[in-house]
Structure 1
Amino acid sequence: MSALDPAGLAAVISPLRRALLAAARAAEHLPEIPDAQIEIIRALPRGTVAAPGELAQRLGLSRSTVSNLLRAMEANGLIARQQRRDDRRQVAVLASARALDLFGRFDRASARLVADAAATLSTPDHHALAAALPALQRLCDAVNAQRLIAGTTKSEEEK
């Protein structure tokens, strides 16, 4: 068993993500949406609403950053704000039908692109990728957990 090369893994993941994003955008003629806005849409699947503060906490972003993102997203028709029924002073955010359509098209194009590229790989590579998928998901979860802990520590220091 070989030792994990964290720098090598990061050096592969980042360009892979950028290449997949660019190829999916081109394949579906999708507009360029900043990564932070995509993360907000991802946090608001169909039928889900959240307060801006909840989104900030979940994504490890400052409230002012989320507020600015939401303002731009609303101007581009990607989210809608609605007053909460239980507290009319509070607002809830939901992804628009347009955002959900764009996101669905992006996910379908990404899956097609990965399938087509994977079809060019050897059987051992297919097995290696299938075996790596659960570990990569756990790695993603661990990185997000560290980011949230670091964000909590940072926001506590700012108080």
Structure 2
Amino acid sequence: MRAGLPSIPDAQIEVLRRLLPHRWETPTSLGRQLGLARPTVSNLVAAMEKNGLVARQANEADARSMLVGLTDLARDQLAVYDEAAESLLVGLLEDLTSVQQRTVRDILPLLAEIRAALEHQEPHPPAATSDMEKGSAR
């Protein structure tokens, strides 16, 4: 456990979040969403199934594939994880100076926009030079 957080690897947390609250996805779809190779997703899902975090079921739309979904244990673990992470974050934010807290507050809308854009974008390899880097070079 890291600082009160359940010991679920970050990659598994990302998979679990894609399946919240009651979604079922193919491993291929999960891999696409997360930008992960098929063997990586296969290994993640196998480990998570072994630990009781996900279950598999037949894909009625495509008999050649399986669907992966959360178990009740996974939902419970995520709730504990989120509560511990929130508590940790609140504590860290409270330790910031008032100037630092204002900076964080001011940047939050921009971070929310970036997150929304990332969630609606297919993963792709990073460009050689990003627009952000170009802007900071000016």
TM range (shorter): 0.7 to 0.9
Task: Specify every segment of 5 or more residues in structure 1 that has no aligned partner in the other structure, as ranges.
Answer: 1-20, 152-159
Q: Secondary structure at the match of 1:24?
A: coil
Is the 8 Å Cα contact of residues 54 and 68 (structure 2) preserved in structure 1?
A: yes
Q: 1:1-159 residue pairs with structure 2 within 5 A?
A: 22-25=2-5, 30=6, 32-139=7-114, 148-150=123-125
Alpha-carbon displacement from aligned partner over 1:13-69 (angstroms, at most 9, x marks no partner): xxxxxxxx82132xxxx2x22221111111111111101100011100111110111
Higher helix proportion (structure 1 or 2): 1
Which residue identity lines up with residue 105 of structure 2 in the other structure?
A
- In structure 2, the CA distance between the partners of 1:24 and 1:136, relative to structure 1 (3 Å rule), is farther
- In structure 2, the CA distance between the partners of 1:115 and 1:58, relative to structure 1 (3 Å rule), is same
- Using the TM superposition, give the Cα deviation of residue 99 of structure 1 relative to its aligned residue in structure 2, in angstroms: 1.2
- Using the TM superposition, give the Cα deviation of residue 132 of structure 1 relative to its aligned residue in structure 2, in angstroms: 1.4
Q: Identity percentage over the alignment?
A: 35
Which residue identity lines up with residue 77 of structure 2 in the other structure?
L
Mean Cα deviation higher: 132-141 or 78-87: 132-141
Q: Secondary structure at the match of 2:101?
A: helix
Aligned to 1:157: none
TM normalised by structure 1 equals 0.67
TM normalised by structure 2 equals 0.76
Q: Secondary structure at the match of 1:149?
A: coil
In structure 2, how many angstroms separate the alpha carbons of the residues matched to 1:56 and 1:88? Answer: 19
Is the 8 Å Cα contact of residues 20 and 70 (structure 2) preserved in structure 1?
A: yes
- In structure 2, the CA distance between the partners of 1:150 and 1:121, relative to structure 1 (3 Å rule), is closer
Which residue identity lines up with residue 43 of structure 2 in the other structure?
N
Which residue identity lines up with residue 104 of structure 1 in the other structure?
A
- In structure 2, the CA distance between the partners of 1:147 and 1:49, relative to structure 1 (3 Å rule), is closer
In structure 1, how many angstroms separate the alpha carbons of the residues matched to 2:3 and 2:108? Answer: 21
Alpha-carbon displacement from aligned partner over 1:66-105 (angstroms, at most 9, x marks no partner): 0111111101101000112333332110121111111111
